[in-house]
Chains A and B, each alone.
Chain A
C-alpha cells in the first residue's frame, strides 16, 4: 500500500527565511514522488517530481526536494521565502505499477512580512 504523511498542517516562516515542508512516504515498490502547490481557488500546480533519476530535484519558483530512500522522505525546501509562496502544498506518491496518485493532507504555508 502507498501513503504519504505530511508533518505539520501549518507552517509559518518569515520572509527571507528557509522553507522546509516535510513529506514521508510508504511504498512497497520504488515510488514516483511529486510536490504540488495550490493557491486559493486554483487548481494544483506541479512544483517538481522525482522519477528515479537524480535524488535532488529542482523545481519551479526556487523550490527543490531531495529523495532519501533510507529515510523514506521527500522534503521540500526553498532557501528564501517570498510572500508569493504563501499557499497550500501537497506531497503525492505514485508507484510505477499503478495509476493512482496518493496525496498527503497538505501543509499550509504562511509567510510573515
Chain B
C-alpha cells in the first residue's frame, strides 16, 4: 500500500498481559515514530527510529514499553504487563528523513483497550 499501515486496528487485552503492535511504514522511509494518543489529547511522542536504531526513546513511559525495528522497515511496539492506563490509540508515523522540514505520514492507529 501507499500509506503507513498498522495492525491490529483494535486490540482488547486483560490487565497483566503482553501485547505487540505492528507498524509498516511507507517504503523507503528511514525515520519511524511511535506516539500514544489518549482520549481527548494530542499525540504524545514515545520513540523515534532512524534506520534500525532507536535514536530517541525518551518518551517511553517506563520499562514495560519497548520497540524494535530490526531491519529498518517494520517496527513493533511491545508492552509488557499491561495496565488499564495503557489504554489509548497508538499511532505510528514515518518520514523520509529526520530534519527540520520533514513531513510525517501517520497510520490509522491501533486502539488498545486493557480491561
Contact = CB atoms under 8 A, between A and B. Distances in A.
Interface of A: 4, 9, 32, 36, 41-46, 49, 51, 90, 92, 94-96, 99-106
A103 B38 CA distance: 12
A21 B42 CA distance: 15
Contact of B103 (A9, A49, A90, A103): A49
Interface stretch (B12-20, B43-51, B65-73, B74-82): B43-51
Interface residues of B, number: 28
A11 to B, nearest CB: 15
Given A32-B101, A100-B59, A45 B106 contact: yes
Interface in B66-115: 91, 93, 98, 100-101, 103-109
8 contacts: A36-B106, A43-B106, A43-B109, A44-B91, A92-B42, A99-B31, A103-B35, A103-B43
Nearest to A92: B42
Nearest to A91: B42
A90 B109 CA distance: 16
B106 A44 contact: yes
Given A32-B101, A43-B4, A100 B45 contact: yes
Given A32-B100, A100-B59, A43 B107 contact: yes
A101 B104 contact: yes
